[in-house]
Structure 1
């Protein structure tokens, strides 16, 4: 399939795209808003020029934040347009860069030639930076036609994804050949991009910028202060973060087992998607757990068993409140989420077995003794209880995670240096 056929199929599939938006809007009404932006109509007023950064959703937006701040510092004269595809990503971008006048934001239009052309005519970037794996043939081609270099930042490409791209070589190879810079996380991923058609001079192993996460000391101080207000400084607290449908029941079953031996244990439960907040709250109540919602600023008391983290932009703070962290999206076949956020906060890290989105990072943490994987509620309960009862083991895991973080830092500078060569 070449780009012409791909484009024709995209146009033919627009009714399905509309149906998908409608179905999503039933659960998350924000999907029904700003639809014009998805076709490059009704875009907000923007200062042209500068850098365009695309981060598809929440996870990529968080990963992109240090890079964006580095670009703001290095190029104080340039505006930065940040795009995404989801309402949650949009809210995260707005929250992270509130008050920064040089940050411009809208949805990325669908990958149609006319929409991509209108978007680029409005934004007129001197550089396009795409986070991780979000490759769109028409957007990239329209950039190439205008002489706009395109970089893939913090690039990752699993063996499975590489096989998928390889099946459409007539589409993939020209697209990758039009790109100017691939800042990839590992040598294995570099070889996959080269095998698919990226030009050798454009591929550089820079590492993962997720290792360059810096923690504000005030975050830890605020967390300690809040636990003091809860009178929970000595209370065992664990967090299950970024959970997906099918995981909350497992987590709550593990918490039930844990309460048999530690009746004062507190679980901070943080669903990944905000449209699930209400359903998970109802689930907690149905299962008989005394639950309060973070969004209501309700006080956690000695009788509280679960704190529902139903806010946006607070995940690092909620991690800081806990003693032990379980990272979701891993008990179901979703591929996991960022294991390095709790590691950077010196928390022992637990996860399920499905970590195919973070294989290299998981391997580093596992080999260092900073990560333990569990398969079910029983395994999760046993792991959490062991770390509660053996604080020395928990401390060893936390220190091992910090050591892995420090040993792998520097990717952000290498990425920014590579982007600087394109800007200059």
Structure 2
């Protein structure tokens, strides 16, 4: 299929799906109100005045926004006069992005990838450079940016083998989009090779920004203080995904007492109530983080399960946990990022599915900061053993922090690269 025909089919599909996309956003807004905020921006209509010349960074969701925070800090350190435009696609990303804004910065939703919406976005904001975080390559956006003379960079770029196969199946659409990127700053050499295979001409290996994210020491200390209030260790399922919580609870209720405190921190906030219901349906007593402030009440110290139903408190949870089971890695979902856990000194047990963060996981395992488990039942067994082995747990914690420190520096390298090509 030719590029023109593929692009026409893609655009027609988006136009047809636009009403359903907007309806889905409105429905999600019933639980997360921010999805109903400034809906017109999704179509490229912006009410606020726009000063041209900002450096535009698109961070689709929470993880990408946290990674972008390290890059923003590094860029500001080298050019304090820079003004930023931050765009997002999810409510969690936009909420986290608000903390990065300073006077003169702006924030908006990235529009749907239709020609009209993208052109309105670019005309309104007139950025001097566009930076897309990690995997965000959009065919229409790339084409319109090229026509507008806007240099586009893929930062903290990663591409799994699975995504490469998908990209090749859509080669008529995705290869031209990739070729239009000015620069890709890849996390690893393996990512760089796959990105080059998609057609990007200039690809450099810069490392992973997530090693440079500053962990809040006050949150870590609070989590450690909560752990000291308990008379038992804490086994945590961190950043869990669909299906993992139910499988864990199925195994957990079979364990004899006394058990560690089980903590579950779901990846998506819209699932908090669903997971609370699962815990109670399993016959386990529950305390929800959202129900107290700086310190858990006495009754929370004796329950079976804590539900981490709060946002931007992962350092607290890693400070609390004796051992963390890596969410997303016990189902074929690719795993979540374990770098934050390592920076907080929390030992990690990963399942078999970590293709989204393959190199970081393997490096952490090689460094003694994490271990690979065959499945969730194996992870529970290994987690219980570590909970009872203080020496091994402390050794893993120290190795985790050393591993995190050893891989820092990507933010500085990316800032230098971006400023070298900024108009």
TM-score, normalised via structure 2 length: 0.91
Query: For residues 4-63 of structure 1, what are the alpha-carbon distances to aligned partners after superposition, in whole Å with 9 as ceiling and x for unaligned?
Result: 442233223334434544564566565344321100124444433211111111121122
Q: Which residue of 2 aligns with 1:408?
A: 407
1:11-410 correspondence runs (5 A):
11-18=15-22, 20-21=24-25, 24-25=28-29, 28=32, 30-94=34-98, 96-97=99-100, 100-199=102-201, 202-228=202-228, 231-232=229-230, 234-258=231-255, 260-263=256-259, 265-297=260-292, 299=297, 301=299, 302-410=301-409
Q: Deviations over 1:125-156 (max 9, x none)?
A: 11100000111111122222222110000100
Aligned 8 A contact 1:113 1:138 in 2:
yes
Preserved contact between residue 83 and residue 104 of structure 2 (Cα < 8 Å): yes
In structure 2, relative to structure 1, the CA distance for the partners of 1:187 and 1:227 (3 Å cut) is closer
- Aligned equivalents of 1:300 and 1:349: distance in 2? 28
Rounded to whole Å, the distance in 1 between the matches of 2:210 and 2:384 is 29
Provide closer, same or farther for how the CA distance between residues 358 and 178 of structure 1 changes in structure 2, counting only shifts above 3 A. Answer: same
- SS class of match (1:405): helix
Q: Against the structure 1 CA distance between its residues 92 and 300, is the aligned structure 2 distance closer, same or farther, given a 3 Å change threshold? A: farther
Residues 78 and 315 (structure 1 numbering): CA distance in 2 closer, same or farther, change over 3 Å? same
Q: 1:26 to 1:331 in 2, by over 3 A?
A: farther
- Indicate the larger mover: 400-409 or 356-365: 400-409
- Retained in 1: the 8 A contact 2:349–2:372? yes
In 2: Cα distance, 1:148 partner to 1:162 partner: 26
Q: CA separation in 2, counterparts of 1:152 and 1:421?
A: 15
Distance of 1:16 and 1:136 partners within structure 2: 19
Q: For structure 1, list consecutive stretches of 5 or more residues without a partner in the other structure.
A: none
Q: Alpha-carbon deviation of 1:381? A: 2.4
Query: Which whole-Å deviations, capped at 9, do the CAs of 1:175-221 have from their partners, x for residues lacking one?
Result: 2222111000121221222222211xx21011111222333433333
CA distance change for structure 1 residues 11 and 373 in 2, over 3 Å: closer, same or farther?
same
Question: Could you say what the CA RMSD is over the residues aligned between the two structures, in angstroms?
Answer: 2.2
Give the secondary-structure state (helix, strand or coil) at the position aligned to 2:51.
coil
1:289 is paired with a residue of what secondary structure? coil
Indicate how the Cα distance of structure 1 residues 314 and 145 shifts in structure 2: closer, same or farther if over 3 A, else same: same
Provide the C-alpha distance between the structure 1 equivalents of 2:67 and 2:93, rounded to a whole number of angstroms.
Answer: 12
Distance 1:176 1:59, change over 3 A: same
Report the more deviating stretch, 345-354 or 150-159.
345-354
Over residues 140-173 of structure 1, what are the superposed CA-to-partner deviations in whole Å (9 max), with x where a residue is unaligned? 2222222211000010011221122223333223
For residues 227 and 112 of structure 1, the distance between their equivalents in structure 2, rounded to whole angstroms, comes to 50
**TM-score w.r.t. length of structure 1:** 0.91
Three-state SS of the structure 1 residue aligned to 2:355 is coil
Measured in 2, the distance between the counterparts of 1:50 and 1:280 equals 41
Rounded Cα–Cα distance in structure 2 between residues aligned with 1:363 and 1:59: 20
Residue range with higher mean Cα deviation, 116-125 or 249-258: 249-258
Q: How many residues align?
A: 415
Kept in 1, the 8 Å contact 2:56–2:131? The answer is yes
Give the CA deviation at 1:335.
1.0
